[in-house]
Amino acid sequence: MQILVGIKWVPNTSNVRFDPKTGALIREGVPSIVNPHDLDAVEFALDLRDRYGGEVNALSMAPPSAIEGLEQVLGMGVDSAILVSDRIYGGADTLATSYVLAHAVKRISNQRGKLDLVIFGQETIDSSTAHIAAQTASWLDLPYLYYVRSVEIKENGFIAVERWLEDEKTIYDLPLPAVLGVAMKSREPRPVRLIYKIRAKAEKPIEIVTNEILKLNPNCVGLKGSPTWVSKIDYTPEVKRKREVFMDPDAGKAAKWLMQKYADEDINLIGGAHR
């Protein structure tokens, strides 16, 4: 199988703080990481390769610093990586991003003569839109499924795809090539291996693709190609904690104390239990 996995290089939002005055993200000193849900997608793809053979390549649109993240997934065993990187791609919303990615996918598919699956993580931790996989599929006019948990190859170029919603599990037959969004936390990404990391560093299997190569219309990419604007970020004010601790080991007393506190604060528990 020829598989391509999308990788986003994101600020580690568990560390991100907002400027309370401007509402803007404080990026300074916040290290970037591979979007954790993309690692699920990498694991998903590597598992397919383990079972069916073939190749897994990573694709990312990002500034050059993302090489570090690509080295991480190469360390997990991905065969090679393509970094689509150009100043004019900066400031892109999901439309402009998927536009560039779709063209990169086409180019890779033409180069390799074959592409079976394009796999993305469910969403990203820095924006959580979950747009990219769907939009890329639309640009490419390929079938698309999300919340995917597993894939089996069937005969005659079809795959059986298992998708879970909250209360149902559906199995689809999909023709290849196709685009998939992997359900987040559905996989345990494998650790980086020394041998793969050495190979990533020694052979540098990362191709950098600029717009000189892709030749996309500058009006369709980056900030110019992005109709979405963040008009305002609302800041939920911090709730001052009262730092009260009930120290008695008697659970019954503790529960009573807690319920009384709720009552004092006029907090309505589900069903108004304390009333």
Q: Which is nearer to other proteins, 87 or 193 (CB)?
A: 193
Q: Whole-angstrom Cα distance, residue 5 to residue 222?
A: 21
Question: CB under 8 A: which stretch of 115-123, 133-141, 191-199, 237-245 binds other proteins?
Answer: 191-199
Q: Which is nearer to other proteins, 194 or 239 (CB)?
A: 194
* Token duo for residue 245: 């601790």
Site membership for other proteins, residue 106 (CB under 8 A)? no
Q: Least distance in Å: CB of 204 to other proteins? A: 11
Q: Whole-angstrom Cα distance, residue 86 to residue 16?
A: 25
Q: Least distance in Å: CB of 71 to other proteins? A: 8
Binding residue (CB under 8 A) for other proteins from 160, 198, 223, 269: 198
Question: CB under 8 A: which stretch of 124-132, 164-172, 197-205, 223-231 binds other proteins?
Answer: 197-205
Site membership for other proteins, residue 189 (CB under 8 A)? no
Site membership for other proteins, residue 195 (CB under 8 A)? yes
Binding residue (CB under 8 A) for other proteins from 16, 25, 30, 153: 153
Number of residues forming the site for other proteins (CB under 8 A)? 22
* Token duo for residue 113: 């003569």
Nearest residue to 103 (alpha-carbon basis) of 86, 88, 84: 84
Peptide bond into 31 cis (omega under 30): no
Q: Enumerate residues 60-79 that contact other proteins by CB under 8 A.
A: 68, 72, 75
Nearest residue to 120 (alpha-carbon basis) of 140, 134, 108: 134
Question: CB under 8 A: which stretch of 101-109, 115-123, 158-166, 187-195 binds other proteins?
Answer: 187-195
Check: CB of residue 31 under 8 Å from CB of residue 9. no
Q: Where are the beta strands (DSSP E) in the chain?
A: 2-6, 9-11, 17-18, 25-26, 32-34, 55-61, 80-84, 117-121, 144-153, 158-164, 169-175, 178-182, 206-209
Residues that bind other proteins (CB under 8 A): 33, 49-54, 68, 72, 75, 153, 191-199, 201-202
